[in-house]
Amino acid sequence: MLKVDLDTKVKFLHGFSHKTRIQILECIKDNEKTVSQIVEDIRGNQSNISQHLACLKGCGIIVGRQEGKYVYYGLRNQQVRDLLTMFDVVLEGVKNDVAYCENHIG
Protein backbone atom coordinates (compact mmCIF):
# COMPACT_ATOMS: atom_id res chain seq x y z
CA MET A 1 0.00 0.00 0.00
CA LEU A 2 1.21 3.50 -0.83
CA LYS A 3 2.19 5.63 2.16
CA VAL A 4 1.77 9.38 1.67
CA ASP A 5 2.82 11.98 4.22
CA LEU A 6 -0.26 13.30 6.04
CA ASP A 7 0.68 16.96 5.49
CA THR A 8 1.05 16.33 1.76
CA LYS A 9 -2.34 14.64 1.67
CA VAL A 10 -3.95 17.61 3.46
CA LYS A 11 -2.38 20.06 0.99
CA PHE A 12 -3.66 17.99 -1.94
CA LEU A 13 -7.17 17.78 -0.51
CA HIS A 14 -7.13 21.55 0.07
CA GLY A 15 -7.35 21.92 -3.70
CA PHE A 16 -10.84 20.42 -3.55
CA SER A 17 -12.01 22.48 -0.58
CA HIS A 18 -13.48 25.55 -2.29
CA LYS A 19 -16.63 25.89 -4.36
CA THR A 20 -14.90 27.88 -7.12
CA ARG A 21 -12.14 25.29 -7.45
CA ILE A 22 -14.71 22.51 -7.74
CA GLN A 23 -16.53 24.55 -10.41
CA ILE A 24 -13.26 24.95 -12.30
CA LEU A 25 -12.51 21.23 -12.07
CA GLU A 26 -15.97 20.31 -13.33
CA CYS A 27 -15.57 22.86 -16.12
CA ILE A 28 -12.30 21.33 -17.36
CA LYS A 29 -13.14 17.72 -16.50
CA ASP A 30 -13.67 16.70 -20.12
CA ASN A 31 -11.82 19.39 -22.11
CA GLU A 32 -8.94 21.80 -21.65
CA LYS A 33 -9.97 25.45 -21.46
CA THR A 34 -8.37 28.87 -21.28
CA VAL A 35 -8.89 31.24 -18.36
CA SER A 36 -11.33 33.26 -20.47
CA GLN A 37 -13.38 30.17 -21.30
CA ILE A 38 -13.45 29.11 -17.64
CA VAL A 39 -14.47 32.63 -16.54
CA GLU A 40 -17.32 32.60 -19.06
CA ASP A 41 -18.48 29.07 -18.20
CA ILE A 42 -18.62 29.55 -14.43
CA ARG A 43 -19.44 33.28 -14.51
CA GLY A 44 -16.55 34.27 -12.28
CA ASN A 45 -14.06 37.09 -12.48
CA GLN A 46 -10.70 36.63 -14.12
CA SER A 47 -8.55 37.59 -11.14
CA ASN A 48 -10.35 35.25 -8.77
CA ILE A 49 -10.32 32.36 -11.26
CA SER A 50 -6.59 32.87 -11.88
CA GLN A 51 -5.89 32.64 -8.14
CA HIS A 52 -7.83 29.40 -7.88
CA LEU A 53 -6.10 28.00 -10.97
CA ALA A 54 -2.75 28.75 -9.30
CA CYS A 55 -3.89 26.84 -6.21
CA LEU A 56 -5.05 23.85 -8.26
CA LYS A 57 -1.81 23.85 -10.23
CA GLY A 58 0.24 24.17 -7.04
CA CYS A 59 -1.63 21.21 -5.53
CA GLY A 60 -0.78 19.12 -8.59
CA ILE A 61 -4.40 18.69 -9.62
CA ILE A 62 -4.27 20.52 -12.95
CA VAL A 63 -1.68 21.38 -15.58
CA GLY A 64 -1.34 24.29 -17.98
CA ARG A 65 -0.28 23.96 -21.61
CA GLN A 66 0.93 26.99 -23.55
CA GLU A 67 -0.34 27.30 -27.11
CA GLY A 68 0.51 30.60 -28.73
CA LYS A 69 -0.60 33.38 -26.42
CA TYR A 70 -3.06 31.15 -24.54
CA VAL A 71 -2.63 28.73 -21.67
CA TYR A 72 -4.99 25.77 -21.72
CA TYR A 73 -5.80 24.22 -18.36
CA GLY A 74 -6.77 20.60 -17.92
CA LEU A 75 -6.80 17.89 -15.30
CA ARG A 76 -3.37 16.41 -14.58
CA ASN A 77 -4.34 12.86 -15.51
CA GLN A 78 -7.04 10.22 -15.65
CA GLN A 79 -6.66 9.49 -11.92
CA VAL A 80 -7.79 13.03 -11.05
CA ARG A 81 -10.76 12.64 -13.43
CA ASP A 82 -11.57 9.31 -11.76
CA LEU A 83 -11.31 10.95 -8.33
CA LEU A 84 -13.85 13.63 -9.32
CA THR A 85 -16.18 10.89 -10.53
CA MET A 86 -15.64 8.94 -7.32
CA PHE A 87 -16.56 12.03 -5.28
CA ASP A 88 -19.93 12.01 -7.07
CA VAL A 89 -20.40 8.28 -6.46
CA VAL A 90 -19.58 8.54 -2.75
CA LEU A 91 -21.64 11.71 -2.30
CA GLU A 92 -24.68 10.03 -3.82
CA GLY A 93 -24.79 7.76 -0.77
CA VAL A 94 -24.16 10.42 1.87
CA LYS A 95 -25.62 13.58 0.33
CA ASN A 96 -28.42 13.91 2.88
CA ASP A 97 -25.98 13.69 5.79
CA VAL A 98 -23.70 16.23 4.12
CA ALA A 99 -26.61 18.57 3.43
CA TYR A 100 -27.53 18.64 7.12
CA CYS A 101 -23.96 18.84 8.46
CA GLU A 102 -23.63 21.99 10.56
CA ASN A 103 -19.95 21.57 11.32
CA HIS A 104 -18.68 22.82 7.96
CA ILE A 105 -20.80 25.65 6.68
CA GLY A 106 -19.17 27.14 3.62
Report the pLDDT value the prediction gives residue 42, as an integer from 0 to 100: 97
- Rounded to an integer, what distance in angstroms lies between the CA atom of residue 14 and that of residue 10? 6
- Residue 103 has what pLDDT? 77
Q: Is residue 59 part of a domain?
A: yes
CATH code, 41: 1.10.10.10
Q: List the domain range (segments joined by +) for residue 81.
A: 10-100
| pLDDT for 106 | 54
Q: What is the pLDDT of residue 1?
A: 65
Q: Is residue 3 part of a domain?
A: no
- Specify the pLDDT at position 100: 83
Q: What pLDDT shows up at residue 73?
A: 98
**pTM for the full predicted model:** 0.88
Could you say which residues of the chain have pLDDT below 70? 1, 104-106
Number of separate domains in the chain: 1
The pLDDT of residue 4: 80
Assess if residue 106 is contained within a domain.
no
- Residues with Cβ within 8 Å of 28's Cβ and at least 6 positions away in sequence, in order, are 38, 62, 73, 74, 75
